């Protein structure tokens, strides 16, 4: 393992062991209000934006790291979406494959502002040790894909709303292309592909899982639904876009309609419950707890890990989160014993 990753994981493990105990947060209660259910006709229209026809992929692949337990290849291929920004049109990622061959794979989707993908690569290495191929996929305009924008991050939640929505759509289509590559070129079992998304990446993971039956599992870390409410909640991450919308006379309901095509609530369904595992913070200032609850209930109350802390401080629980995510993925994709639901391990049943 690279020294920086080893040090990071060692520090986080020590922090997790030293953190002062807090009372376990109560499970989310059913939301008092939520956006209107998307009608069948509108749902069909929204689904059409993610239509993807597999075509032969011309990809390059070169090995960049070799370790005792895994090999990491850099993979590049054309994005299925062509944009005016040339650097954004090359989809690339880092493919971690365990030396003990596996026919299951997980696509790892990054946070916003993940400047060096250290967190996502640590997740991929952990999954490789737990028996998965793992593909870390920078999303549109992130990392090298934003080079021709001079470092501007279109997928930050304070960016232009239209650009943000279009970037998320491209990300979902990119995820579909990576899945195709994993099956066609890496020879992964098409029934054993899952997703892990963290923060911003969890939005793309949620939509991708909900609209594509080719994914067998999704772990959504620090996520939520009703993105318009997330924006108008006014955290420091969304304050700028909230001010721009209000300055243009746009209110919460207008924003809900505008962002609905990429809102996880537009596609989540209780029939998908068993494949979903959520990890959330009880005092998340980016995704308010009520918006976590909206997505939780939209998926029919899936497995959930509730951690005491905010959007950033829960990083001290990284070892616990990694193990919970790996157990869920192994149960869904590799046939391990199913993970017990929260109500079966001592949390109150009310609200579950």
pLDDT digit string, tens, across residues 82-91: 999 999 999 9
- Segment 317-341 shows an average pLDDT of 89
**Range name among 12-26, 70-84, 310-324 with the lowest pLDDT average:** 12-26
Q: What is the CATH number of the domain that holds 124?
A: 3.40.50.1820
pLDDT digit string, tens, across residues 182-210: 999 999 999 999 999 999 999 999 999 99
pLDDT digit string, tens, across residues 143-184: 899 888 875 666 665 567 888 889 999 999 999 999 999 999
Please choose, from the candidates 157, 239, 241, 238, the residue with its C-alpha nearest in 3D space to the C-alpha of residue 204.
157
- 77 has which bridge partners? 91
pLDDT exceeds cutoff 60 at 3: no
- Top pLDDT among 199 and 10 is at 199
Q: Is residue 196 part of a domain?
A: yes
Q: Is residue 210 part of a domain?
A: yes
Q: Is residue 1 part of a domain?
A: no
What local confidence, expressed as pLDDT, does residue 332 receive?
96
Q: Is residue 102 part of a domain?
A: yes
- Segment 255-271 shows an average pLDDT of 93
- Segment 60-80 shows an average pLDDT of 96
The domain of 140 spans 41-336
pLDDT band for position 17 (cuts 50, 70, 90): very low
What local confidence, expressed as pLDDT, does residue 217 receive?
98
**Range name among 41-45, 50-54, 213-217 with the lowest pLDDT average:** 41-45
Please choose, from the candidates 141, 166, 152, the residue with its C-alpha nearest in 3D space to the C-alpha of residue 258.
166
What local confidence, expressed as pLDDT, does residue 341 receive?
54
pLDDT band for position 340 (cuts 50, 70, 90): low
What local confidence, expressed as pLDDT, does residue 34 receive?
45
Q: Is residue 208 part of a domain?
A: yes
What local confidence, expressed as pLDDT, does residue 204 receive?
97
Q: Is residue 11 part of a domain?
A: no
What local confidence, expressed as pLDDT, does residue 154 receive?
63
How far is the C-alpha of 155 from the C-alpha of 203, rounded, in Å? 11
Looking at the structure of the chain, the number of domains it has is 1
Average pLDDT, the chain: 85
Distances (CA, A) of 246 to 28, 228, 230, 258, 303: 30, 12, 14, 14, 36
- Segment 257-282 shows an average pLDDT of 94
Class of residue 13 by CB neighbours under 10 A (exposed 0-12, middle 13-18, buried 19+): middle
How far is the C-alpha of 237 from the C-alpha of 221, rounded, in Å? 17
pLDDT digit string, tens, across residues 301-320: 999 999 999 999 999 999 99
pLDDT digit string, tens, across residues 241-255: 888 888 888 899 998
Rounded (5°) CA angle 123-124-129? 100
What local confidence, expressed as pLDDT, does residue 301 receive?
96
Q: Is residue 18 part of a domain?
A: no
Q: Is residue 76 part of a domain?
A: yes
How far is the C-alpha of 64 from the C-alpha of 61, rounded, in Å? 10
What local confidence, expressed as pLDDT, does residue 201 receive?
96
């Amino acid at each position: 393992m690279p020294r920086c990753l080893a040090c990071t994981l060692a520090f986080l493990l020590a922090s997790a062991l030293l953190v002062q105990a807090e009372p376990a947060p109560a499970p989310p209660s059913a939301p008092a209000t939520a956006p209107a259910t998307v009608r069948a006709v509108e749902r069909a229209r929204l689904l059409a934006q993610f239509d993807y026809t597999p075509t032969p992929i011309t990809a390059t692949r070169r090995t960049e790291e070799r370790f005792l337990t895994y090999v990491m290849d850099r993979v590049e291929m054309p994005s299925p979406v062509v944009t005016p920004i040339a650097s954004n049109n090359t989809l690339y990622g880092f493919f971690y494959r365990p030396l003990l061959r596996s026919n299951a794979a997980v696509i790892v989707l990054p946070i916003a502002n993940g400047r060096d993908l250290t967190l996502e690569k640590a997740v991929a290495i952990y999954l490789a040790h737990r028996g998965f191929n793992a593909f870390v996929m920078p999303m549109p305009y992130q990392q090298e894909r934003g080079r021709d924008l001079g470092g501007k991050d279109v997928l930050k939640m304070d960016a232009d709303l239209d650009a943000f929505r279009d970037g998320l759509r491209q990300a979902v289509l990119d995820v579909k292309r990576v899945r195709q590559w994993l099956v066609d070129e890496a020879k992964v079992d098409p029934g054993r592909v899952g997703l892990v998304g963290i923060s911003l990446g969890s939005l793309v993971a949620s939509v991708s899982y909900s609209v594509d039956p080719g994914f067998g599992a999704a772990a959504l870390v620090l996520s939520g639904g009703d993105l318009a409410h997330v924006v108008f909640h006014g955290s420091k991450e969304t304050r700028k876009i909230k001010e721009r919308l209000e300055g243009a006379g746009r209110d919460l309901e207008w924003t809900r309609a505008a962002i609905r095509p990429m809102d996880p609530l537009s596609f989540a369904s209780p029939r998908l419950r068993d494949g979903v595992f959520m990890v959330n913070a009880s005092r998340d200032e980016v995704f308010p707890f009520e918006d976590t609850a909206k997505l939780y209930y939209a998926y029919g109350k899936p497995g959930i890990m509730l951690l005491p802390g905010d959007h950033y401080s829960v990083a001290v629980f990284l070892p616990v989160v990694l193990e919970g995510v790996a157990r869920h993925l192994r149960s869904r994709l590799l046939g391990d014993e199913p993970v017990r639901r929260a109500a079966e391990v001592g949390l109150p049943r009310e609200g579950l």
